[in-house]
Amino acid sequence: MIASLRHSISRGMRAYDLLRGDEPYKANWRAQPCPTENILIAPAVGPARLRHSLIVAGDTVKDWLKSGLASRS
């Protein structure tokens, strides 16, 4: 990782993406969270459509649970 950072700095990069997640080591590096978007594209027919619907339903339930837990804090 250090070699990758050094390479980025030598090329004039001003930001380095540590990817998603809030692992504790990222705070030690003074990483700042930035929002991400997930885009899921699925055919409108057959098993792919069912799988897409299940993913969307699961995400909705996770968001609902997170908002419910956050309101208790």
Q: So what's the pLDDT on residue 58?
A: 92
Q: Verify that 24 and 13 share a domain, yes or no.
A: yes
Domain shared by 22 and 3, yes or no? yes
pLDDT digits (tens, 9 = 90+) for 3-28: 988 898 899 988 877 777 778 888 87
Band (pLDDT 50/70/90 cuts) for residue 67 is: confident
Q: Which residue has 């990069």 as its token pair?
A: 13
Q: Is residue 64's pLDDT more than 60?
A: yes
The distance in angstroms from the start CA to the end CA of the chain is 36
Please name which of 21, 26, 34 lies closest in space to residue 1, comparing C-alpha atoms.
Answer: 26
User: Nearest to residue 18, comparing CAs of 30, 6, 3?
Assistant: 30
Instruction: Report which of 3, 41, 4, 40 is spatially closest to residue 19, judged by C-alpha positions.
Output: 4
pTM value?
Answer: 0.42
Residue with token string 């705070």? 27
pLDDT one-digit tens code per residue, 35-45: 778 787 888 78
Q: Are 44 and 69 part of one and the same domain?
A: yes
* Residue 43 and residue 14 share a domain: no
Residue 69 has pLDDT above 80, yes or no: no
The verdict on 51 and 30 lying in the same domain is no
